[in-house]
Amino acid sequence: MVNRKAKGTKGERELVKIFNENGWSCIRSAGSGSQQYPSPDLLAGNAIRRLAIECKVTADKKKYLTQEDVDQLNEFSLKFGAEAWLGVRFPGEPWYFLMLEDLQKTGVSWSISLEMAKMKGLTVEDLMKGFSEEVDNPN
């Protein structure tokens, strides 16, 4: 059985590879959840867009996030000038990417269900669509 941290790390590395193989630059911030300052799991971008992505992998049909997770992603994104996205992967499903506004408030935390991710989420291909063409480099 793979532990939760290893499963999340594997998912993050998978996304780094996907972004980089599609004309984007992408880096993983190791230990992002345990740092003193807000930092997302991934930073992905190209000459047109910058994305700050918090990644979650779950074995359930619903994923919960703490208020702190949401606040830190939002704070970092505002300071960095990046779009804030939640990337979530459910069993047997592709990655879905959601804006923070798409999360559901559940008392003191936030959640996203598989059903809602399918309705409101974007696949990684959709997230990059129209922004993956190579940009002319004058250098």
Active site residues: 32
Instruction: Report whether 56 contacts 65 (CB < 8 A).
Output: yes
Q: Distance between CA 117 and CA 106 in Å, rounded?
A: 16
SS3 content of the chain, % helix, strand, coil (to 5): 35, 30, 35
Virtual torsion, Cα 69, 71, 74, 76, nearest 10 deg: -80
Q: Which two tokens stand for residue 91?
A: 């069993």
User: Which residues share a beta bridge with 88?
Assistant: 56, 96
Helix (H, G, I), strand (E, B) or coil at 99: strand
